[in-house]
């Protein structure tokens, strides 16, 4: 029984070694509510979906509720909608690079917002001023109002991630501005390039939506062939993707390009979305010095920590088994 007891203690110790850093998710202490104005297209929605006209100036409101007993400061910010690597709309990345086709980003239309300080169990209205461009346009401008609680301890923790990681909850309210008539998307297949994804080298194609319209149910099919051959070396299909207005993203299309022999290759691409279709062929060249695998899938650190802990437990178990066997012989 003593042996089993010690093994249990050692197992817990090994598990602690395997898990490494602790992650604490901070609980949310506030909530936000959009005050829907009269020019809302669908008043059943809880985000802003506004009908706008050129040169229009409007102030919209968001109610912020402090649900705790403590004084707090909430930091709002305006974010342009972009498209992620996985083909979805991102409303939270304030550092994302704008597409070259974006003429009127939301961050220029929505004027600067300042932090809001609230006493415990109190509410305040955030006033956000919108100023539409003078130039008439058709389509959609998309983004969000992002809210996060000012938390100095979480900021300090992020600077020392080996000790502690604290996650902060954020609230996001979508902000969609509609002007004129709806437009159809126009997709462009741009450059093919090498990238790292999950520590593995891949090749991706940059896809651009150059119009101010949300792309729904985007599907993209790709076929890789050696130039002058009809033999398909790799193929892929991605479905149910979305793109933000005037945005682009890098779609992974070729796995392990280091395995390709030197030569010229062709990628045939076809896409469908919003009832339209697009096709294109893109070529690239693999040089002789590019065939050797320069990037390998790196070991997953957490897995190896667990493996090390398991080996540690087995070794200790063997030692206790031998000690117990020796003790029984003496008896």
Tell me the β-bridge partners of 79: 144
Tell me the β-bridge partners of 11: none
Tell me the β-bridge partners of 202: 195, 255
pTM: 0.77
CA neighbours closer than 13 Å in the CB half-sphere of residue 13 = 10
Measured at the CA of 270, the angle between CA 267 and CA 275, to 5 degrees, comes to: 170
- Rounded CA-CA distance 253/269 in Å is 10
User: Which of 110, 84, 105, 83 has the alpha carbon at shortest distance from 173?
Assistant: 110
What distances in angstroms separate CA 77 from CA 113, 138, 152, 215, 237, one per listed residue? 7, 26, 18, 25, 36
- Rounded CA-CA distance 186/277 in Å is 10
- Rounded CA-CA distance 23/11 in Å is 21
Longest dimension (CA), the chain: 97
The CA-based dihedral angle spanning residues 297, 301, 304, 306, taken in that order and rounded to the nearest 10 degrees: -140
Give Cβ neighbours of residue 89 (< 8 Å, ≥ 6 apart).
81, 82, 83, 142, 214, 242, 243, 244
Helices 301-330 and 2-19, axial angle in degrees (round to 10): 170
What distances in angstroms separate CA 72 from CA 1, 131, 141, one per listed residue? 53, 30, 32
Give Cβ neighbours of residue 289 (< 8 Å, ≥ 6 apart).
none
Burial of 104 (0-12, 13-18, 19+ CB in 10 A): middle
Contact yes or no for 254/200 (Cβ under 8 A):
no
Q: Which pair of tokens denotes residue 61?
A: 């409101």
Across the chain, which has 331 residues, the per-10-residue mean pLDDT values are: 40 34 56 98 96 98 97 97 96 95 97 95 98 97 97 49 58 98 97 92 96 98 97 97 98 92 96 97 87 38 44 58 59 54
User: What is the residue whose two structure tokens read 């956000």?
Assistant: 128
């Amino acid at each position: 029984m003593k042996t089993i007891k010690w093994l249990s203690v050692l197992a817990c110790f090994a598990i602690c070694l395997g898990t490494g850093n602790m992650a604490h998710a901070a609980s949310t202490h506030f909530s936000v509510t959009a005050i829907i104005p009269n020019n809302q297209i669908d008043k059943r929605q809880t985000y802003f979906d506004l009908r706008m006209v050129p040169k229009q100036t409007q102030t919209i409101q968001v109610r912020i509720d402090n649900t705790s007993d403590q004084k707090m400061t909430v930091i709002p910010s305006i974010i342009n909608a972009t498209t992620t690597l996985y083909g979805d709309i991102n409303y939270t990345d304030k550092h994302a690079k704008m597409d070259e086709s974006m003429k009127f980003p939301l961050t220029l239309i929505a004027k600067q917002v300042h932090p809001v300080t609230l006493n415990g169990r109190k509410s305040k209205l955030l006033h956000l001023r919108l100023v539409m461009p003078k130039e008439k346009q058709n389509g959609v401008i998309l983004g969000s109002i992002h809210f996060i609680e000012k938390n100095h301890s979480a900021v300090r923790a992020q600077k020392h991630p080996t000790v502690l990681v604290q996650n902060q909850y954020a609230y996001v309210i979508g902000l969609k501005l509609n002007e004129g008539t709806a437009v159809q998307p126009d997709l462009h297949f741009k450059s093919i390039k090498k990238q790292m994804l999950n520590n593995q080298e891949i090749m991706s194609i940059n896809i651009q939506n150059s119009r101010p319209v949300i792309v729904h149910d985007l599907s993209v099919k790709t076929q890789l062939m050696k130039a002058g051959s009809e033999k398909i070396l790799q193929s892929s299909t991605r479905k149910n993707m979305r793109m933000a207005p005037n945005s682009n993203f890098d779609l992974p299309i070729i796995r392990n390009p280091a395995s390709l022999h030197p030569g010229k290759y062709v990628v045939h691409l076809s896409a469908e979305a919003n009832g339209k279709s697009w096709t294109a062929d893109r070529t690239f060249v693999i040089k002789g010095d590019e065939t050797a695998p320069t990037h390998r899938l790196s070991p997953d650190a957490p897995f190896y920590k667990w493996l090390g802990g398991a080996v540690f437990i087995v070794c200790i178990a063997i030692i206790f088994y031998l000690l117990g066997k020796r003790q029984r012989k003496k008896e």
